Amino acid sequence: MANGLTYIRRTTTPEATKQLAATLAPYLRPGDVIMLSGDLGAGKTQFVQGVAAALGTRAQVTSPTFNILLQYIDGRIPINHFDLYRLDEPEQLEDVGYFEAVDGDDDGVTFVEWGEKFPNDLPCDYLEITITTDTQGERRVRAHAFGVRARQLLFVWANDSKSRLMKMSGGSIR
């Protein structure tokens, strides 16, 4: 449900998390930034896989844990997918092209896993998606907007995806 600037859904399968993520794709624009937080194995990469497929990327989206950045350019919008887990120093962010990707002017949409490791380097405008594991392996997916563009994105996503999700998920998204 859209509740102020926060939108919360629960998913019971990896496929449901991807389906939920797919509903975000139509509203994404170049320059958008999505910071994904949650424990190891929460489902952050699954979420990116769902968006990427819906944007028309045919390549297999894998975890950028070792590459730090993986890019997909064959969909409707290019995708930058960062995983900052293995970075230790904020100075390394410059080397991997993080700042160009999150400054709002990039040609692509940028997803960042483990961005919370560098709280002083968060962008000014981003949608934060936090995935937590509930009882029985269920995931709670919470979206919260920081900044004007993220608020707009969250507003349209939360409103428009509501009815479509009910039809397509067969009960695995609540």
Ligand X SMILES: Nc1ncnc2c1ncn2[C@@H]1O[C@H](COP(=O)(O)OP(=O)(O)OP(=O)(O)O)[C@@H](O)[C@H]1O
List residues binding ligand X (CB under 6 A): 11-14, 16-17, 38, 40-46, 63, 65, 83, 113, 137, 139
Q: Is 16 left (phi over 0), alpha (psi -120 to 50) or beta?
A: alpha
Give the residue with the Cβ less far from ligand X, 132 or 152.
Answer: 132
In whole angstroms, the minimum distance from the beta carbon of 152 to ligand X comes to 26
- CA dist., res. 161 & res. 69, Å (int): 29
In whole angstroms, the minimum distance from the beta carbon of 47 to ligand X comes to 7
Sequence-separated (6 or more) residues with CB below 8 Å from residue 41: none
Residue labelled with tokens 């962008």: 123
Residues in the chain: 174
44 scored as a contact of Mg ion (CB under 5 A) = yes
Q: Which one of residues 6, 12, 13, 63 is an interface residue with Mg ion (CB under 5 A)? A: 63
In whole angstroms, the minimum distance from the beta carbon of 52 to ligand X comes to 12
Report the Cα 91 to chain-centroid distance in Å.
24
- CA dist., res. 137 & res. 85, Å (int): 23
- Give me the residue whose beta carbon is nearest to ligand X: 43
In whole angstroms, the minimum distance from the beta carbon of 80 to ligand X comes to 16
Interface ranges with Mg ion (CB under 5 A): 44-45, 63, 113
